[in-house]
Amino acid sequence: MQKNAKDNFYRKLAQVLDLQFIYRETAHYYGTEGQESIDPVVFVFFSKTII
């Protein structure tokens, strides 16, 4: 079951915006112990689209 419409803004944006480089750029900030952090791509994606 698809929860979002095919013409959803975020779905379209994710298709044209490649944020995979963020994993490389932020890797040294994320540890292997402790609480799990929010995915850096999700954080950047939503922080840039909310503004």
1-49: pLDDT as tens digits = 567 677 888 788 778 888 889 999 988 888 778 888 888 888 887 887 7
What is the model's pTM?
Answer: 0.57
Give the H/E segment covering residue 6. none
SS3 for 10?
helix
Alpha carbon distance 19, 2 (integer Å): 23
CB 18 within 8 A of CB 25: no
Domain ranges of the chain: 9-50
Phi first, then psi: give them for residue 23, nearest 5 degrees.
-60, -45
Alpha carbon distance 21, 41 (integer Å): 9
Structure tokens at 11: 């779905």
